[in-house]
C-alpha cells in the first residue's frame, strides 16, 4: 500500500523517521522499477534544529521545498556529486524532513547494477544516502515531486513509499545523527533510526544478496 498524505502530515518528525524504517522506497524512472527496504533514517526538526537546512527559519532556493506541505521529495546536491533524498513532513510552512540514509535492495536489481556499474549487489550496497539515490535513480531535479498517488493528477508516479508490513518494531536502534557536529547540542539528539542489515532476511527475502 502506498503511504498516503496523512502519514506525511504527522507533526512528529521524529516519529515519522522511526515509522519509515521497514517501509519500501520505490522509484519508476525511465521505465525502470526499483525498490529497497528503508533501514536507516534521520529526522530534521526545521527552524528549531541547528542541524537542519531550515535552522532559524531561513529560506533559500535549495531548501524552499522543505516549507511545502508534507508528502513531497526534498532532494539536494551534496558536495556537488551526491543527490540526497529526504521526505518532507508536517503542515505547509513547517520545514520538517526525514533523510533516508540507507536501504536494502529489493526489486529491480538489474537496473541497480546498471546504475552503479557492478555485477553483483551486497546487503550494504544501499547504505549511505548517496548510495540510496544512485541505486534508485533519484536525482536532485526530482526535488518537490509528490510522493502520494492522490497528488499526481493522472501522471505516472516517479517516487513513492509503500508499507509491506516487513518490520518487527523491537529491531529498531536509536542513535545520534551522523556528520552534524556543527549543530552543538542538537548533534546529540536521538534522531537517527536504523536496523542491523544482517537481520534483513528476517524481514524480507534478501538471501540472494552477498
Query: How many CA atoms does the CB half-sphere of 68 hold within 13 Å?
Result: 21
Residue 12 maps to which CATH number?
Answer: 3.10.300.10
**How many domains does the chain fold into?**
1
Task: Map grid coordinates 542513535 to a residue.
Answer: 175
- Position 207 in a domain: no
Q: What are the CA-CA distances from residue 9 to residues 3, 5, 40, 69 (Å)?
A: 11, 6, 20, 7
pLDDT digits (tens, 9 = 90+) for 69-98: 999 999 999 987 899 999 999 999 999 999
- Position 201 in a domain: no
The answer for residues whose C-beta is within 8 angstroms of residue 2's C-beta and 6 or more apart is 148, 149, 157, 160, 161, 162
- Residues in the chain where the model's pLDDT stays below 50: 152-154, 201-208
Enclosing domain of residue 9 = 5-194
- Position 136 in a domain: yes
- Position 203 in a domain: no
- Position 80 in a domain: yes
- Position 205 in a domain: no
Whole-number pLDDT of residue 210: 55
Exposure of 179 by Cβ count < 10 A (0-12 exposed, 13-18 middle, 19+ buried)? exposed
pTM summary value = 0.92
Pull the grid cell for residue 123: 546487503
Q: What percent of the chain has pLDDT over 90?
A: 79
- Position 208 in a domain: no
- Position 204 in a domain: no
Summary mean pLDDT of the chain = 90
Amino acid at each position: 500500500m502506498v503511504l498516503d498524505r496523512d502519514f506525511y502530515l504527522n507533526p512528529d518528525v521524529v516519529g515519522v523517521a522511526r515509522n519509515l524504517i521497514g517501509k519500501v522506497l520505490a522509484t519508476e524512472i525511465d521505465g525502470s522499477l526499483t525498490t529497497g527496504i528503508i533501514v536507516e533514517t534521520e529526522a530534521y526538526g526545521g527552524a528549531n534544529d541547528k542541524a537542519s537546512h531550515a535552522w532559524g527559519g531561513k529560506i533559500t532556493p535549495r531548501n524552499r521545498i522543505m516549507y511545502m506541505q508534507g508528502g513531497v521529495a526534498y532532494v539536494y546536491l551534496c558536495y556537488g556529486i551526491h543527490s540526497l533524498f529526504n521526505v518532507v513532513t508536517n503542515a505547509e510552512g513547517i520545514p520538517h524532513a526525514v533523510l533516508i540514509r540507507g536501504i536494502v535492495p529489493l526489486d529491480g536489481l538489474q537496473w541497480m547494477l546498471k546504475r552503479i556499474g557492478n555485477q553483483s549487489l551486497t546487503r550494504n550496497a544501499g547504505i549511505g544516502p548517496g548510495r540510496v539515490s544512485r541505486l534508485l535513480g533519484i536525482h536532485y531535479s526530482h526535488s518537490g515531486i509528490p510522493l502520494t498517488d492522490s497528488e499526481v493528477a493522472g501522471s505516472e508516479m516517479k517516487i513513492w513509499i509503500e508499507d509491506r508490513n516487513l518490520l518487527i518494531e523491537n529491531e529498531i536502534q536509536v542513535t545520534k545523527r551522523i556528520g552534524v557536529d556543527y549543530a552543538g547540542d542538537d548533534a546529540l539528539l536521538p534522531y537517527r533510526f536504523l536496523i542491523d542489515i544482517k537481520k534483513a532476511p528476517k524481514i524480507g527475502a534478501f538471501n540472494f544478496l552477498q
